[in-house]
Amino acid sequence: MSPTEAGPAGLRGWWLASGGLAVLAAGIAGLALGPADLGFGEVLLELVDRLPLIEADSGLGERQQAIIWEIRLPRVVLGLLVGAMLATAGGAYQGVFRNPLADPYLLGVAAGAGFGATMAIVSGAGDGIGILDPVPLSAFAGALAAVTLTYLVGATGGRLDPVTSLVLSGVAVASFFTAVQTFVQQRESETIRQVYFFVLGQLRTAGWNDVALLAPYTGVCLIVILMVRRRLDALGVGDEEAGALGLDVRRMRLITVVAASLGTAAAVSVSGLIGFVGIIVPHTVRLLFGTSYRVILPLTVLFGGAFLVLADIVARLAVEPAEIPIGVVTAFLGAPFFVLVLRTARRAR
Amino acid sequence: MTTVACRSITVSLDGVEVLRGVDLDVPSGGWVTVVGPNGAGKSTLLRAVAGSLTPGGEVLLDSRPVRSLSRRETARLVALVPQEPVIPPGMRVLDYVLLGRTAHLGFFEAEGMGDVEMAVSALHDLDAGHLAGRTVDTLSGGERQRVVIARALAQESPVLLLDEPTTALDIGHQQEVLDLVDGLRSERNLTVLATMHDLTLAGQYADRLVMLDGGLVAASGPAAEVLTGEAVSRHYGVRVRVIDDEVGPIVVPVRRAP
């Protein structure tokens, strides 16, 4: 099925609406479901009540309201931000490297963040809370250091083409950081569990601090990536042809990589290394809605956020009162779903 | 008034001198076709003019050196139809032609209605309007070539570079594409610089031919002067008969008697 026969590739209203609906549905489910069962209707009324000029009585007590506004909503918003960022960064990397297997961790962000977090945890700094918590700060620094190193090494690629050179230097840098991280982790066995949890990813229930830390980064990075989405389509014809069309390919690649890497670094520093979102969401959107990045990226923002919020619900509730690492859920649910989309989309062609 | 001028162009690729001092001029509104055996440096010359690589010597567009122009400025002066264009999987024809508008849009800008109209009219000029909704990777060779040329037209650059535009086509489609380009040249006052393998066709469409061999200009001028049996035999290492016809020289390879 080819979208919009007459006009150029673009978003259709109902596609955006379905993405918005997915976000809303996941959000309400995230607020309603948990150890204290609040009920979908009550949560909806409580939300409506906060809208200006509208009064609605949800019938929820003060304690239940506090659960919604101070515990669950920050976590839902955090899930939306992290999911949107990881998924969109994955989509942008796939475009800029013309590689369907590219994910946000391609250039060493995850390995660097894991290294940074491990260093903070083993040095005993991991017990701080909120905005002064050194673990996310150290993870963020490690992620940026790794990606910068990858870019510096990749830029001196000699005879290789720039894309291959960058991807290969990402492999080298990631292996190096992972090796150091594993070495440190093995020597400090009493903190191994904490490190392990970071590596598998978890959305923390830490009030609004993490959200406030993350929102500016995700906001700016997502906007930049969305603004270059037309250029990503042009890059599809290869570096040389895109250059002949008037595109400054190096600048374009640098801007996209910086935005995607910075956003990913910020996201994983608070959420840990949640895998698979950056591959599965953009590819599902591509299979369902078409191959133009003008369509893929905006929808990936919405569906990425919704997907991670849903995964987090499963992570919280599946083996209550314990929590499964969310990275396990994204892969466990994501992989079969992805296979399903892959098969049905192929048949529809 | 756009002219293309190459002054002592040299290019080395992986240490091999591909072009060794090439001079070439294309007057505004003219059609020059570069011929020569495989490896003579034809495509490299076009890439140098398109700004895809930086040669020694000087390429001038409108008397301005290409090395001083940004990618965007260069793309507004020359549009390239590559020999083997990269076709992004699943991309629709209209979106593909719209890529030609890249040089006219700001870095963060999206194309407007005017750009879409431009792309549609370019498709119509190449009798390809009905293909707009198809995906490029499902087109036949002839259809695809017209769509790639439409993308170059949408670029609105006064100079059109065609790198072996007919190599993948049967003789009917070869003639069709070259006739279309020639029509557009007069309609839109385009300047054409092409490379071609088919010497007979090359001679029929170009005002002047430039024969390259080993990175040097071996001969240049009207077809009748360049396509002599002696010159073709020497530079291509082939046994040919050149028949003087009213449409121009006809170059026929001749098999050695068995």
The structure tokens listed for B18 are 């591909």
* DSSP 3-state of B17: strand
Distance from CA of A30 to the nearest CA of B (A): 35
Distance CA A99, CA A166 (A): 12
* B71 neighbourhood in chain A, CB within 8 Å: 243, 246-249
Given the structure tokens 């036949």, which residue do they identify? Answer: B140
Q: Does the structure show a pLDDT above 60 at A192?
A: yes
pTM listed for this prediction: 0.89
Nearest to B90 among A6, A237, A291 (CB): A291
Number of H helices, E strands in chain A: 15, 0
Number of domains in chain B: 1
The structure tokens listed for A109 are 């962000």
In this predicted structure, which of A100-104, A127-131, A155-159, A285-289 has the lowest mean pLDDT? A127-131
Residue A330 to residues A85, A200, A273, A276, A278, Cα–Cα distance (Å): 15, 10, 11, 7, 10
Distance CA A3, CA A5 (A): 6
pLDDT tens digit sequence for A250-276: 899 999 999 999 999 999 988 988 988
The structure tokens listed for A287 are 């299979």
* B70 neighbourhood in chain A, CB within 8 Å: 248
* B15 neighbourhood in chain A, CB within 8 Å: none
Question: Where do runs of H (alpha helix) occur along B139-190?
Answer: 141-154, 171-188
Whether B88 and A236 lie within 8 Å, measured CB to CB: yes
Whether B82 and A244 lie within 8 Å, measured CB to CB: yes
The β-bridge relationship of strands B248-253 and B240-245 is antiparallel
Distance CA B5, CA B12 (A): 20
What pLDDT does residue B76 have?
95
Given the structure tokens 């490190």, which residue do they identify? Answer: A195
Structure-model confidence comparison of residues A71 and B33, the more confident one? B33
Nearest to B85 among A241, A249, A252 (CB): A241
Contact A295, A289 (CB under 8 A): yes
Distance from CA of B126 to the nearest CA of A (A): 18
pLDDT tens digit sequence for B142-189: 899 999 999 999 999 999 999 999 988 899 989 999 999 999 999 999
What pLDDT does residue A127 have?
57
Residue B258 lies in a domain: no
Distance from CA of B109 to the nearest CA of A (A): 8
> A66 in the Ramachandran plot: left (φ > 0), alpha (ψ -120 to 50) or beta?
alpha
Q: Which amino acid makes up residue B32?
A: V
Complex-level ipTM beyond the 0.85 threshold: yes
- Closest residue in B to A293 (Cα) is B91
What pLDDT does residue A260 have?
94
Residue B12 lies in a domain: yes
What pLDDT does residue B65 have?
94
The domain containing residue B81 runs over which residues? 4-253
SS (H, E, C) A169-195: HHHHHHHHHHHHHHHHHHHCHHHHHHH
Contact B202, B210 (CB under 8 A): no
Which residue of A230, A231, A240 to mutate against B (max B Cβ within 10 Å)?
A230
Residue B184 belongs to domain with CATH number: 3.40.50.300
pLDDT tens digit sequence for B190-238: 999 999 999 999 999 999 999 999 999 999 999 999 999 999 999 999 9
Q: Does the structure show a pLDDT above 90 at B10?
A: yes
Nearest to A247 among B50, B71, B76 (CB): B71
Residue B244 lies in a domain: yes
* A230 neighbourhood in chain B, CB within 8 Å: 105, 109-111
Concatenated DSSP letters of A72-119: IHHHHHHHHHHHHHHHHHHHHHHHHTT-TT--TTTTSHHHHHHHHHHH
The β-bridge relationship of strands B64-65 and B240-245 is unpaired
Separation of first and last alpha carbons in chain A: 7
- List the domains of chain A with CATH numbers: 77-348 (1.10.3470.10)
Given the structure tokens 């515990």, which residue do they identify? Answer: A71
The structure tokens listed for B89 are 């999987």
* DSSP 3-state of B212: strand
pLDDT tens digit sequence for A118-158: 998 888 765 555 456 788 889 999 999 999 999 898 877 66
With cut-offs at 50, 70 and 90, classify the pLDDT of residue A37.
Answer: confident
Q: Does the structure show a pLDDT above 70 at A345?
A: no
The β-bridge relationship of strands B16-26 and B159-163 is unpaired
Contact B69, B51 (CB under 8 A): yes
Distance CA B159, CA A144 (A): 44
pLDDT tens digit sequence for B26-59: 999 999 999 999 989 999 999 999 999 999 999 9
Whether A245 and B133 lie within 8 Å, measured CB to CB: no
Mean pLDDT value of segment A209-230:
92
Q: Does the structure show a pLDDT above 50 at A222?
A: yes
